[in-house]
Structure 1
Amino acid sequence: MAGTGLLLHARRAMLREARQAREAADAVRSALLRPLPARIDGLATAAALLSADRGARAGGDLYEVISTEHGVRVVIGDVRGHGIAAVGTVAAVLAGFREAAHDEAELAGVLARLDRSLARHLRDRDRARAGNIEDAEDAEDFVTVLLLEIAPDGALHALNCGHPWPYLLGVGRATPVARADPMPPLGLFPLPAELPVTACGRLLPGETLFLHTDGVEDARDSQGRFFPLAAALREAVRGRPISPRTVLRAVFWQLLRHTGGRPKDDIAILLLRNERPMIRRAAGPHGSAAPPRGAISHDASEVDNPPVAPTP
């Protein structure tokens, strides 16, 4: 009986510690990844994050959206690894972005600040780990990062360090915003002297951006097949008004069905829909509205239905 009592006591203590760890991880995650408002500068938002570490609930994926005088700036990233060990790196990247997004006039300056923030964090972490062999074996950390800037007229510019490109969604269509080769992830190599900012066309009123981490496309089913993200997106926007929340729910549940509810990697999804009023431009030489230089033209029939406010 005494042995049974000790086992029950130990089990209760372990369950209590596990619950406290989950609560602490939830608090850390809420502090780092602050809930997004439903709208940011005319953009409707929706986001979801799922950690592969079920015990911790705090993973290595990150995102943030900030309205600045330079436009709406977005970061989404994926720290190598997942769980509590990645939380410090997530904090360093998010802290660097939240300051630099306001301070830096150019997107390249934001990325340079993120690179320096990450480098300081890794140096400090390595000094703290000095002499710990187990930690030293896992010392090679890097972060895939996509920086995106959305101008008031919807013009999109991006810097991509090893991250999947977002998709541009309209009714019945889902296409990557760019196909250029990204730079290496942050933390592996020094940034080049000239950073290749990619012009990604324009996010028109009624269109939606779908941003994600590579855990989405790399998710496999029981037979080892990758999740067909492009097909899932086209299905989610086929023949219906698009809202960030409906697309998020549709893709998320397709992903969980594909993996049997057990994704092996952290997953982050972020959607931004342009619900700003259409901007009328100055007439061109023949009386028609002149598109800005470098813009992608869209037939009027391709523009979605009028914006619908997301459900609370």
Structure 2
Amino acid sequence: MERATTSGHLPVLYREVLDGLAVRAAGRYLDGTFGRGGHARGVLEQLGPDGRLLVMDKDPEAIEVARRDFGGDPRVSIFHGSFAQMGQWDAAAGGLDGVLLDLGVSSPQLDEAGRGFSFGKDGPLDMRMDPTSGESAAEWLARAGEQEIADVLWTLGEERHSRRIARAIVERRAATPLTGTAQLAELIASVVPRGKPGSDRGRINPATRSFQAIRIHINRELDDLHAGLEAALQCLKPGGRLAVISFHSLEDRIAKQFINRHAKAPPANRRMPVEPDFVPVLRAIGGATRAGDEETASNPRARSAVLRVAEKLPAGGAA
């Protein structure tokens, strides 16, 4: 989720990401979520003539920007698709010195009403990161059962009023199709009680959690994250770095657990007669890194950003 770079602003946790990747001039790096190229541009500036930058994105508009801004650079290769597919890209499968995954929705996507991500701007209820494929939010809400909708809102949005919202959606669509973001946001607000002033519920729009959950579901974001982390581990060379920026507790939990699972031996099990040998594959580089006060003051969207970095170990687990 990065800020626009055309105005001179930097993407979220810009310096922390570049430090975490420890970019080498002749290295090969993959930005799995190009967005508008803020982090990619920073990596490219540190690469020499023998370095390589691979960029991926689901969003065709992001790919257009990548081709416009970087297409003429022989060091850059561009792939339209999810980072979950990096292992299928020959350029990545050959070995990487660093992988960056900047999760969630980008600022340009949020700011463009026509993409349907924002409840603050009326637009078509789409929410697809790749509008050329898959099912839109409007199409899913038109066919999904009440229990399925409630489960998505609860599981992916941690929405306490998931059942009430799901019931309202099913009742409303029976009379009027839900096709716009403002229409859905107003419906949610009509059935979700406002929180007390100063509380978390009082500070955020009642539609926030539901929109987040629907977007994650429509784009299969958590499935892609699981697959992308495994693919990154396979593509990284020994000594290569993995950097993951998350904006949601579920995403951060997945990234944290993935790193820990490959970096730390599992707890001892007294029922096992012989504990299997554990050979670490990753080494965590620091802990969770968050944006500082200066960055969050200039970019409120950075408040929820969490960066985790890990390094792939040589065979045998030696650091």
Counting strand residues as a fraction of each chain, which structure ranks higher? 1
Same fold per TM (> 0.5)?
no
Greater relative contact order (Cα < 8 A, sep 6+): 1
Specify the TM-score bucket, using the shorter chain as the normaliser. Answer: under 0.3
Counting helix residues as a fraction of each chain, which structure ranks higher? 2
Give me the TM-score of the superposition, normalised by structure 1: 0.23
